[in-house]
Amino acid sequence: MNRFYTVLQTSWDWRAAVNFMFGGTGSALILIIAIASLPGTPALPAGITALVLVGLGLFTVWLEIGRPMRFLHVFFHPQTSWMTREASVALLLFPVTLIGLLYRNPAIVIAAGLLGLVFLYCQARILLASKGIPSWREPAIVALIISTGLVEGSAVFILYLLLSGSSMQTAMLVLLPVLLVIRALSWNSYRQRLIAGQAPQQTLSILRDIHATTLWAGNITPAVLAAIALLIPVAGPPAGAVAALLALFSGWHMKFTIITRASQQQGYSVGKLKRGRPQIKPPVRRKPDRFVF
């Protein structure tokens, strides 16, 4: 099939990208906090940070709306729109998280964590539903968005634990490389499937340009630094902090690129034309049925 044009979409800009960056990190952070609160009490400062990130993401989307005062219209299509579902989950996410944090109730925080996971899943499905953009409609993007959100949430939580001096940082530094491996595999799978699906060359070129940075600086290097932080106690805090920052900012960079730069629209395509006039076949004549008595 011959594609005769591929142009960059202009409906979503950096404001939409910030929602996927901050919203994905914040919602995943709530899930990480919920898991970490099972043996103890929830971390209030980290939880507030998570809600601020989600709120900032949603605020930037509100800024992008052509008529901001008509934002309530986003709630009108829950049966068809993943954006509506994301906004609806956010309405529950904020009060449930605040109640769980303020009352230090792990059970309520677990419920908030599950809502955070659903919010992150809705973000992934928003991209998947954009059928006109090959880099978004690829099914592998769901695993990529979820895995990178979990990495980012874990990274922010590690930074909080390092600042607060919590002993839980050891367990999180063990978890981070596992999540980084999953994200690296998801990234490679995503790129390979786009290549196999013959995505626009502009899209593949842009993703190829950030591949080394995403794989090495964003996944392999943080995993190695996390291992160093575990094995060498003296180097633990600085190595852990650098690992978390690299994991966080590389995820944001990847999502920003996919939303704003690697989002070429795929034009119409036609089959290979053949020379000559089409052959007109005579109509098929059916013989009358014969009944035997």
- Write the pLDDT tens digit of every residue in 252-265: 999 999 999 999 99
| Average pLDDT for the chain | 88
User: What is the Cα–Cα distance from 240 to 245, expressed in whole angstroms?
Assistant: 9
Which tokens go with 87?
Answer: 């906004």
Q: What is the pLDDT of residue 74?
A: 64
Kindly indicate the confidence band of residue 153, based on its pLDDT and cuts at 50, 70 and 90: very high
Question: Tens of pLDDT along 5-33?
Answer: 578 998 899 999 999 999 999 999 999 99
Which residue in the block uniquely carries the two structure tokens 């690296």?
184
Question: Tens of pLDDT along 217-227?
Answer: 999 999 999 99
For residue 271, pLDDT beyond 50: no
Q: What is the pLDDT of residue 61?
A: 86
User: What is the Cα–Cα distance from 117 to 29, expressed in whole angstroms?
Assistant: 9
CA distances from 173 to 98, 148, 178, 197, 229 (A): 27, 16, 9, 36, 8
For residue 278, pLDDT beyond 70: no
CA distances from 48 to 45, 163, 209 (A): 5, 15, 36
Look up the pTM and report it.
Answer: 0.87
Q: What is the pLDDT of residue 70?
A: 59
Least confident of 76-85, 159-168, 187-196, 275-284: 275-284
For residue 277, pLDDT beyond 70: no
| pLDDT average, residue stretch 114-125 | 98
CATH class of 2-268: mainly alpha
Asked if 6 contacts 264 with a C-beta cutoff of 8 angstroms, the reply is: yes
